[in-house]
């Protein structure tokens, strides 16, 4: 019989209910897909992951929980189970005033969400702007492209410049077979 192991993931308290889901459905789905048992501390935001020794699925479970904690919906975060090459990466916006952070987040999201939607469509990534972070889910090459675009926006590049960059990246990603 395999030995039982455990690890922890800390998530923001306001995201605990989302990890649990209506009637515990999200928690159950993560447990089933990951082959783990979750114990959620709703007062601390600590999630205990119990798994069998040697079973590496707990790593994907950690990624999914982290993604939900960084603002992704469970439906989007669970896509991390679908492909071992999918990953979640985060840019932290530090040392900014609250006003600057709001402005930067607004530039990344764009009017009516158009900038974020364009970045997602061109690169094939999913983007979450949450708290002091901007997180992306995708393949390595796609994440590199979208994070460069995000950094351009953070540095103040005009949206048109970022659109041109993304259009060039779309052609490059298509050539490398990263785009469908």
Q: Cα separations (Å) of 19 from 25, 29, 74, 103, 145? A: 9, 10, 7, 29, 29
Residues 157 and 149: their CA atoms lie apart, in Å, by: 9
In this predicted structure, what is the pLDDT of residue 2? 67
In this predicted structure, what is the pLDDT of residue 177? 62
Residue 180 pLDDT exceeds 60? no
Residues 25 and 139: their CA atoms lie apart, in Å, by: 27
In this predicted structure, what is the pLDDT of residue 95? 75
* Three-state SS at 90: strand
Q: pLDDT tens for residues 33-78?
A: 999 999 999 999 999 999 998 888 899 999 999 999 999 999 999 9
- Report yes or no: 163 and 119 within 8 Å, Cβ to Cβ: no
DSSP character at residue 177: T
Buried b (16+ CB within 10 A) or exposed e, 80-97: bbeeeebbbbebebeeee
Give the residue with greater pLDDT, 35 vs 98. 35
Query: 47: closest CA among 19, 77, 79, 18?
Result: 19
Residues 127 and 149: their CA atoms lie apart, in Å, by: 12
| Equal CATH topology for 4-81 and 87-175 | yes
Q: Which residues pair with 163 in a beta bridge?
A: none
What CATH topology corresponds to 87-175?
Ribosomal Protein S8; Chain: A, domain 1 (3.30.1370)
Residues 33 and 50: their CA atoms lie apart, in Å, by: 14
Please state whether the predicted TM-score (pTM) of the whole model is above 0.85.
yes
Computed over every residue of the chain, the mean pLDDT equals 92
In this predicted structure, what is the pLDDT of residue 171? 76
DSSP E strands in 34-145: the ranges are 37-41, 46-52, 87-92, 126-130, 133-138
Q: pLDDT tens for residues 120-155?
A: 999 999 999 999 999 999 999 999 999 999 999 999
CATH of segment(s) 4-81: 3.30.1370.10
Domain residue limits, the chain:
4-81, 87-175
């Amino acid at each position: 019989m395999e030995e039982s192991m455990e690890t922890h993931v800390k998530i923001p308290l306001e995201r605990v209910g989302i990890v649990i889901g209506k009637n515990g459905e999200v928690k159950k789905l993560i447990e089933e897909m990951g082959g783990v048992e979750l114990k959620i501390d709703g007062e601390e935001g600590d999630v205990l992951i119990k798994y069998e020794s040697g079973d590496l699925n707990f790593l994907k479970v950690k990624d999914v929980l982290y993604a939900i904690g960084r603002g992704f919906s469970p439906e989007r975060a669970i896509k991390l189970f679908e492909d071992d090459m999918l990953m979640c990466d985060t840019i932290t916006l530090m040392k900014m005033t609250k006003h600057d952070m709001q402005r930067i987040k607004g530039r990344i999201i764009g009017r009516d969400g158009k900038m974020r939607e364009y970045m997602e469509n061109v690169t094939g990534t999913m983007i979450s702007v949450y708290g002091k972070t901007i997180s992306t889910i995708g393949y390595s090459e796609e994440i590199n492209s979208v994070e460069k675009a995000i950094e351009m926006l953070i540095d103040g590049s005009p949206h048109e410049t970022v659109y041109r960059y993304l259009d060039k990246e779309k052609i490059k990603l298509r050539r490398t077979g990263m785009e469908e």
